[in-house]
Amino acid sequence: MTFKKVRCILPQASVFLIPRSSALSAAYQYNDGRLAACSGQDDIEQHLPAARTTLAVWDAAQRLERAALMVLKSKDAVSIGTLNGGVIVEGRDQLNIGLVRAATRGLDPIRTTTAAKCHFKSDDRFRSAFWAVITRLHGAVLPRTFQFELAGTRGTITSKDNKFVCAGDFTNPHDFIGELRAACQIEEQVAYSLAATEDTPAGASFDLSDLIKEVTPVDPANTYTFDKDGWPLTCRSEPDFGMMRTLSAMACALRTRGDTTVTVFSGDNSKIVSGSLKVDQDARFLVH
């Protein structure tokens, strides 16, 4: 096996060795959302569209804790994104993934700076409202109290570290989701704002996963499933919204690739997430 030295012409470029393999079609390095072709390659322009879709999926996958390498497999093709060196590789299905991992070992990690926002977009009023609400609740590290007005029903939710307490006209996840859904269905006002007080009211404490399970059925196989818009159709028994939001963004990015499988590995080569998507079908992910 022989290697060739390849330098990516970017401000923070690292020198790394790429295997000289007939199965390797193109190598790039990303910076600020841009892809730069590594020097020493000829006639790789035709691989740039595929590399851009690989980068879009890898951008979302980097939100996964410990994510170090991602592998996408489609018909006769393999795409790889690595944290070390910030490398995107496009190749044929015979490409040895271990060689790419070895070639980037020891390089400085480079994260994507486009920072996938994981915004969920839908014409469905309830879905959009629910996603917006749970995003705010999930983001509360310190206690935050939100005041809600849902078609005349009023109450508060105080959230911190994925736990919350309800007060007012709704006192549990089931009642809150019922009021939110009813307000959306009759197209009445759905409004919420940050309250002046941050005191946690007395009452039962719930996990944010309880709120998710009021909307998303638990899959007996413990998998997350997403429709074409990235809306979660099923979740694992103890769903985590941060994970769900990341997988939703990955599912949407995968839509541009056709039939594809994806595996995300940690630095010690253990699986973090694996998934698959087929054209006109739902995307499915298993968290390991």
- Tell me the C-alpha distance between 33 and 115, whole Å: 9
Helices (H) and strands (E) in the chain, counts: 6, 17
Asked if pLDDT for residue 12 goes beyond 70, the answer is no
- CATH 3.30.450 in the chain: give the residue spans: 3-116+248-287
User: pLDDT (tens digit, 9 = 90+) per residue, 166-221?
Assistant: 999 999 999 999 999 999 988 767 888 888 766 666 778 999 999 999 999 999 99
Top CATH class of 3-116+248-287 equals: alpha beta
Contact call for residues 107 and 84 (beta carbons, < 8 A): yes
pLDDT digits (tens, 9 = 90+) for 258-278: 899 999 999 999 999 999 999
Instruction: Convert 17-26 to b/e letters by CB count within 10 Å (16 or more is b).
Output: bbbebeebbb
- Predicted confidence (pLDDT) at residue 6 exceeds the cutoff of 50: no
Overall average pLDDT of the 49-69 stretch: 94
Whole-Å CA distances, 192 to 151, 216, 275:
12, 22, 35
Which residues, in sequence order, are CB contacts of 269 under 8 Å at separation 6+?
101
pLDDT attached to residue 113: 63
CA 2/CA 39 separation, integer angstroms: 17
pTM: predicted TM-score of the whole model, two decimal places: 0.89
Work out the average pLDDT over 121-141: 92
- The pLDDT of residue 10: 46
Cβ(162)–Cβ(218) below 8 Å: no
Average pLDDT, the chain: 88
